[in-house]
Amino acid sequence: MAQELSERPEIAPGVTLTTGEAGLPMIRVERGPAAGSLYLHGAHVVEWVPVGRGSVLWRSAVPHDGGSGLIRGGVPICFPWFGSGPDGDRDPLHGFAGRLPWELDEIRDTDDGVLVVLQLSDSPATTVHWPHRFEATYQVLFGEDLRLSLQVRNTGTEAFTFEQALHSYFTVNDVAGIAIRGLEGATYTDRAPGAAHPRGVLGGPLHIVGETDRVFEETTATTYIQDTLHTVRIAKTGASSTVVWNPWTDKAQVMPDFGDDEWPWMVCVESGNVGSDAITLSPGQAHTMTTTITLD
């Protein structure tokens, strides 16, 4: 059962409860095969550094303002909708899960690294946006791999449908020089402004040559980001969509929480269930999606 932080004077060895940006409580793990950081605000993983390697997740240098917005970088959780939702009318963008404080349920040493478990349930702060009863459990394993598992359970009496994504931001050496492999043959919706082909099938590795905002549907493929810095492998289960995003020059300039010149050093490759891949749960049913991030 979830407990209050104040009832947890002992955090596991190598795991501290600290204060991050804007005074937000943050769990810092420095033990075993990796170091990492996770905010309770949004259950937001902001850092994962396997021993002897560099920081894999990208984080904007623009600090979080402490408001209810998403942290720019790391792995924001999008739930129960993605962007402005299937009909483009949902608010806030990417849902509320990444904007609310989650409860710490458990911190445990495992053979593979330190596991942190967080929970979010329906409350007046969620029902104001989405009138459904749910329980979300997020397991984060900081190890040689970064393993993320998000389970959503319908605890109400009516079925509901939701979208979700683990909106992972990755550090790259030069986004214009990367190749994203694994999505060849997948159908995508191109959401970038002025896209020449709003829908298409990817014919080969994806190269980023301008503002990129593609939602690949009905694909459970493992994706690889090949960069001069390293190759990142992103495997997933229970997730039929993959979203690839980079704002490039113009969009970067109009985003207040994104530095004008930061776009070359990042790319988002997001695992999720978006659009036609949305999940419907009957009362009592649960769905789990996982993402495993590995440096090759």
Ligand X SMILES: O=P(O)(O)OC[C@H]1O[C@@H](O)[C@H](O)[C@@H](O)[C@@H]1O
Catalytic positions, written as ranges: 167, 270
Q: Does 44 bind ligand X (CB under 6 A)?
A: no
Q: Does 245 bind ligand X (CB under 6 A)?
A: yes
Phi and psi (nearest 5°) for 290?
Answer: -130, 150
> What is the largest distance, in Å, between two alpha-carbon atoms of the chain?
56
Beta-carbon count within 10 A of 295 CB: 16
Q: Does 213 bind ligand X (CB under 6 A)?
A: yes
Tell the burial category of 129 from Cβ atoms under 10 Å away from its Cβ (0-12, 13-18, 19+).
Answer: middle
* Smallest gap from residue 92 Cβ to ligand X (A): 9
Distance CA 15, CA 262 (A): 30
Q: Which of 83, 95, 113, 238 binds ligand X (CB under 6 A)?
A: 83
What b/e sequence results for 223-240 when a residue is b if at least 16 CB atoms lie within 10 Å of its CB, and e otherwise? bbbbbebbebbbbbebbb
Q: Does 191 bind ligand X (CB under 6 A)?
A: yes
Q: Which of 243, 252, 278, 293 binds ligand X (CB under 6 A)?
A: 243
* Smallest gap from residue 274 Cβ to ligand X (A): 8
* Smallest gap from residue 70 Cβ to ligand X (A): 5
Nearer to ligand X, 93 or 286 (CB): 93
The vertex-213 CA angle with 63 and 21, nearest 5°, equals 10
Nearer to ligand X, 40 or 71 (CB): 71
Nearer to ligand X, 224 or 248 (CB): 248
Distance CA 147, CA 286 (A): 19
Site string for ligand X, 95-134 (x = CB under 6 A): ----------------------------------------
Q: Does 265 bind ligand X (CB under 6 A)?
A: no
Q: Does 167 bind ligand X (CB under 6 A)?
A: yes
The contact set with ligand X (CB under 6 A) reads 70, 83, 93-94, 167, 191, 213, 243, 245, 268, 270
